[in-house]
Chains A and B, each alone.
Chain A
Amino acid sequence: MSGSGEAVGAILILVGAIFSLISAIGGIRLPDVYTRSHAASKSSTLGVLCALVGTLLFFLISDGYFSIRLILGIFFVFLTAPVAAHVLCRSAYRNDVPLVGTAEDELKDYYMENENTDEDKEEVTENEAPAIKLIDNETPLQVSET
């Protein structure tokens, strides 16, 4: 009874630890803020999720205890970690952190023309379109870097 719970929990937590290690190596090896954010957000989120699911299944199988807090934590991490990476990348881009490599910067033209139309050059005054377009343009950049 408790042996199977320990096995399931151990395998999932090991997988989570390996993903976290891969994420840390990506944070060292990758050249750029955006590629590092790509490594740090995706694989460490998956690592944390694997560890939490392993803990949940361990307590569920071996003790018969269903922890609603772990479900809540899994949902919360799954919800907020990509948004944190998005906000970090966006503020890095707006502070002119350079891209490394062959990436063509399609977003730059958009921002330049958008800033020229504003008189006071206030970056807050934009409509909803740039926020959505920001993701669409960021995603191929990250993929092409790796």
Chain B
Amino acid sequence: MKPNNVILQTVTQVAVFIIFTFSIYLFMNGHHNPGGGFIGGLSTAAAIVLLYLSFGIEKVRENIRIDYKKLAAVGVFIAVGTGLAGVIFGQPFLTQIFGHVQLPIFGDTELASALVFDTGVALAVIGTAVNIILSICEDR
């Protein structure tokens, strides 16, 4: 079967990169600006769903080999793990710390352990959203 939606696929190849970039931007800016793990995860899921829409389920599944159920589970484990890390050091559950770190390229950077929690939230959101849409559209 040869492709018949050339325009849609070509534009999707460009637009998906823009959406991924913007979702990473939203994800990293969540501490001081609007954004965060939930929005970043949702826009990443939107890019993945756009790929599924224009290229078909089978082709994307061959190229992105991610089990989204496991991805959601890993996200929840990361989020709970950051909470338990506070318990290990004798603090209350979900205690977050932050500090200033000298990174090679970025210089003085403020890193917070809430970023790890946000990573867990983002992975859970991506896994849940894509899994919902895939299980709806496969059940014909």
Contact = CB atoms under 8 A, between A and B. Distances in A.
Given A72-B22, A124-B1, A125-B1, A131 B6 contact: yes
Nearest to B26: A69
Nearest to A126: B4
Interface string B86-99: 00000000000000
A128 B15 contact: no
Interface of A: 69, 72, 75-76, 79-80, 83, 86-87, 124-128, 130-132, 135
B3 interface: yes
A87 B8 contact: yes
Given A72-B22, A128-B2, A128-B3, A83 B8 contact: yes
Contact of A128 (B6, B8, B18, B22): B6
Nearest to B18: A76
B63 interface: no
Nearest to A131: B6
Nearest to B9: A131
B136 interface: no
B15 A131 contact: no
Q: Which 5 A-B pairs have the closest CB atoms?
A: A126-B4, A83-B11, A131-B6, A127-B2, A131-B4
